[in-house]
Structure 1
Amino acid sequence: MQWQQKLMALLLVCLPFAEAGASPASASAYLTVTTEDGETLLEAAAPEGVRWCIQWQHSVEHFTVLDCYRNASGVMQLERSHQPDFAAGLGHIVGRGEQVSDGQGGYWINAINEPVINNRYVLRVGANAVNHQVVWPDGEHPDISLSEQAAGQRVIIQLGEPERF
């Protein structure tokens, strides 16, 4: 009977992490960007609460767009998005966040707070003119241009523990 109590205690400790898609080691999480060939373009510490954005120039309208994420208890979460215009492919979806003016003719969609499935997604990196970048609004790390390293390639953006640890 004692092993059953230990198992129940272990389940009670781990269950919240399993439900959120997080790992108990979320404090040691890293944001990584790798190519399909496995080349690491970025590996940066991203502990609980850290925010980063994917920034790029819209390919038709040529203005800057931001999709901003955070580590929310080990879960990569799309927190907000900035769009200066309702150009092709952009816009607010009713019921998904809250649209507010940025005071300069554009808008933020705040409070999206949408978990990214499996803490990872694939991005086809644009040319240098598009300049896909990882930017750190709070300055935790230097910004990095993905377009300079992998233009035209698919990359995997992931929050988790690096494979080598």
Structure 2
Amino acid sequence: MTNWGMGRPALAALFLGLAAPAQAADLLQVVTKDGGPLVAMPFDGGEICLTWAHSVTGGAVADCFAAQDERLILVRSYLHDYAAGLGEVAGRGRVVPAERGGYWIVGIDEMLPVNGLPLRVGPARVGHKLTGTAGVVDLSALAANSLVTLRVRPE
């Protein structure tokens, strides 16, 4: 089970409380390897976070995205600790402590490629999920061990 160092209501408020530069009509679309639609979530002027359990430590990790000009922007990342492959990268945001453990890297504001973000969805123990104002989508339940692409599309 993922430990975010906070209860679900606090985590949801943390994810949903920050406004991002999205257009109300933008959708985060998840497409399969062959380009077929799997699921879509509205940005609704906010952000959508991809969450999962770190492959080495099992701790919570999140990447939070906004939409701009029909592209994903990596806004911030949550990391449970400075474990393998985690931590600050010079010139790519700044680290701030999370209220109940772990830390956020904020101000990343990295524009992703126009064709989206490829993702190999992990099994249930990895728990890839999308969280936004429209709710939660469990990608691991829908497409475990499959290659998908996250991209922005107008509604």
Structure with the greater alpha carbon radius of gyration: 1
- 2:16 maps to none
Secondary structure, counterpart of 2:77 in structure 1: strand
The answer to whether the 8 A contact 1:81-1:108 is kept is: yes
Matched, 1:144 2:137: yes
Give the structure with the larger helix fraction.
Answer: 1
1:108 and 1:150 mapped to 2: Cα distance? 27
Match in the other structure for 1:64: 60
TM-score by length of 2: 0.78
- Determine the structure 2 residue equivalent to 1:87: 83
Where structure 2 has 5 or more consecutive residues not aligned to the other structure, the ranges are 1-22
- Return closer, same or farther for 1:130/1:71 CA change in 2, 3 Å cut-off: same
Offset from partner CA, 1:20-73 (integer Å, 9 cap, x none): xxxxxx5422110011133422112225x3200000011211111000011235
Counterparts of 1:47-126 in structure 2, within 5 Å, are 47=44, 49-72=45-68, 74-118=70-114, 120-126=116-122
**Cα distance change, pair 141–120 in 1 and its aligned pair in 2 (3 A):** same
The percentage of aligned residue pairs carrying the same residue is 36
Aligned residues: 133
SS at match of 1:127: coil
User: For 1:118, what is the secondary structure of its paired residue?
Assistant: coil
Does 2:37 align with 1:44?
no
Q: Matched residue of 1:117: which SS? A: coil
Question: Take 2:123 and 2:79, find their aligned partners in 1: how far apart are those partners?
Answer: 20
CA shift for structure 1 position 104: 3.2
Task: Identify unmatched segments of 5+ residues in structure 1.
Answer: 1-25
What is the TM-score normalised by the length of structure 1?
Answer: 0.74
